[in-house]
């Protein structure tokens, strides 16, 4: 066997492996003895047919293919030992030619990560401001959530809730055909089609109307994208919202603990502040991580991106399954092939790989560790927060695989926290209008 290392680039070693005829013949003989024991040949007991008879029965190509399948992994293992190569995952192997037998092998190597001077990263957290307008907007949303819808005798206006009967088709084929649909009329609503809401404005109760609208080019049902839809609608009922008065009674309806409107406003302000703090914390972490990643020089084999794409697709398939749909149905609705989906996911997958590699190296650089006690505490918290099946969840989380996953998650969390501390973001400035 002759092994040639052609080159090493992109964290990949490119090898050419040329087999000696004697090695190929030895593999053919081994494969013959394996196959002849499994193959039933008329006139011979199993395992007793000569090689020439077996070749005539199954074809020389089949025996040769079996021999290569047996030869290939052995040759690869010898080649990487000879070249002192340490692969991180399975290689890509292709047969370049068969006479003589030559394999072309691409071996994924360990990524190289050179960290920048992340210790000198400095950021000032963005101040978080909760204004009086923010509180008023949140209170108004609460009023709308507790609104009472009352029938009115006037033309339809935006913000009304109307009851509709709808007939429609696209190129003569049924599209949306339902009676008694409740439809909240708001500006620029894209459901079921952009412009539908605008067609209803001004209609009266029991009035009918026919109109046509163009479906967008990116319509979820790919077979309908860009086509014209015909609609016939009838307004069965028109309702307008009656908002509750802003007073102490309204505050009590929201929560009996609120005795006054001021106490409600105070709680709303506190909730908005907490949410704003959390958003600011996440945004600050992202800024620091992005800065650390931008400082680093990272090289890794493309197979890591492919593996991340596989993982993202598996995640999407599981999510769709929970909704009662399959990935194939999703792709059909989006009018995409799986290969097109893979290409769409390639940029974010690549970004995630780089981010993970940089954070992993910083974890080592900072000597960050996670104790068994921290893992147990995390599991306890996860079980405690579960609404039901606590025993089952406890059992699942106490497997070695779950422990390893939780350890990685905690390690990443502690690494990000360390970066935040380095960048000076241990505290978040909070401001309100009153201050």
pLDDT digit string, tens, across residues 102-145? 999 999 999 999 999 999 999 988 889 999 999 999 999 999 99
Q: Is the distance from CB of 164 to CB of 184 less than 8 angstroms?
A: no
pLDDT at 48: 87
pLDDT at 434: 35
Q: Is the distance from CB of 308 to CB of 349 less than 8 angstroms?
A: yes
Residue whose token pair is 């945004």: 283
How far is C-alpha 134 from the chain's CA centre? Answer: 32
The SS3 of residue 186 is coil
3-state helix, strand, coil in the chain (%, to 5): 50, 20, 30
Name the phi and psi angles at 6, rounded to 5: -70, -45
**pLDDT of residue 368 exceeding 50:** yes
**pLDDT of residue 429 exceeding 50:** no
CA pair distance 365, 296, nearest whole angstrom: 13
pLDDT in tens, 392-405: 888 889 899 999 99
Structural tokens at position 426: 């241990």
Q: Is the distance from CB of 327 to CB of 314 less than 8 angstroms?
A: no
**pLDDT of residue 89 exceeding 50:** yes
Nearest of 430, 114, 433 to residue 275 by alpha carbon: 430
Query: Packing angle between helix 51-58 and helix 60-82, nearest 10 degrees?
Result: 110
Structural tokens at position 328: 């194939």
pLDDT at 425: 53
Query: Is residue 433 very low, low, confident or very high in pLDDT (cuts 50, 70, 90)?
Result: very low
Q: Is the distance from CB of 270 to CB of 96 less than 8 angstroms?
A: no
Structural tokens at position 121: 């990263």
Domains recognised in the chain with CATH numbers: 2-108 (3.30.70.1050), 148-242 (3.10.50.40), 279-432 (1.10.3120.10)
């Amino acid at each position: 066997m002759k092994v040639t290392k052609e080159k090493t680039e992109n964290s990949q070693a490119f090898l050419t492996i040329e087999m000696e005829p004697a090695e190929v013949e030895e593999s053919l003989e081994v494969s013959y003895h394996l196959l002849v024991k499994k193959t039933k040949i008329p006139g011979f007991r199993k395992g007793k047919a000569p090689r020439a008879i077996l070749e005539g029965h199954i074809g020389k190509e089949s025996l040769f293919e079996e021999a290569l399948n047996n030869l290939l992994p052995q040759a690869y293992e010898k080649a990487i030992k000879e070249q002192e190569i340490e692969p991180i995952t399975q290689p890509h192997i292709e047969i370049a030619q068969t006479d003589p037998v030559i394999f072309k092998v691409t071996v994924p190597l360990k990524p190289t990560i050179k960290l920048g001077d992340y210790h000198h990263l400095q950021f000032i957290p963005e101040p978080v401001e909760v204004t009086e307008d923010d509180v008023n907007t949140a209170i108004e949303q609460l009023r709308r959530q507790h609104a009472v819808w009352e029938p009115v005798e006037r033309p339809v206006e935006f913000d009304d809730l109307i009851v509709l009967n709808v007939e429609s088709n696209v190129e003569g084929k049924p599209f949306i055909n339902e009676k008694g649909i409740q439809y909240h009329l708001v500006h620029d609503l894209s459901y079921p089609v952009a412009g539908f809401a605008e067609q209803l404005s001004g209609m009266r109760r029991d009035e009918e109307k026919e109109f046509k609208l163009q479906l967008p080019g990116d319509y979820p049902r790919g077979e309908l994208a860009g086509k014209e839809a015909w609609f016939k609608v009838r307004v069965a009922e028109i309702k307008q919202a009656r908002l509750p008065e802003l007073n102490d009674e309204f505050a009590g309806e929201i929560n009996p603990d609120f005795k006054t409107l001021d106490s409600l406003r105070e709680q709303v302000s506190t909730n908005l502040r907490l949410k704003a703090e959390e958003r600011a914390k996440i945004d600050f972490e992202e800024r620091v991580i992005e800065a650390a990643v931008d400082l680093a020089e990272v090289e890794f084999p493309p197979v890591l991106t492919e593996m991340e794409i596989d993982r993202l697709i598996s995640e999407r398939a599981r999510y769709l399954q929970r909704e009662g749909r399959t990935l194939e149905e999703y792709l059909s609705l989006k009018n995409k092939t799986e290969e097109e989906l893979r290409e769409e996911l390639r940029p974010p997958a690549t970004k995630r790989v780089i981010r993970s590699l940089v954070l992993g190296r910083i974890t080592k650089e900072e000597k960050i560790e996670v104790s068994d006690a921290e893992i147990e505490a995390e599991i306890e918290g996860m079980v405690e927060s579960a609404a039901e099946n606590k025993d089952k969840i406890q059992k699942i989380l106490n497997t070695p695989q779950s422990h390893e996953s939780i350890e990685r998650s905690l390690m990443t969390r502690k690494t990000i926290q360390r970066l935040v501390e380095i960048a000076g973001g241990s505290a978040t400035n909070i401001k309100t209008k009153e201050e």
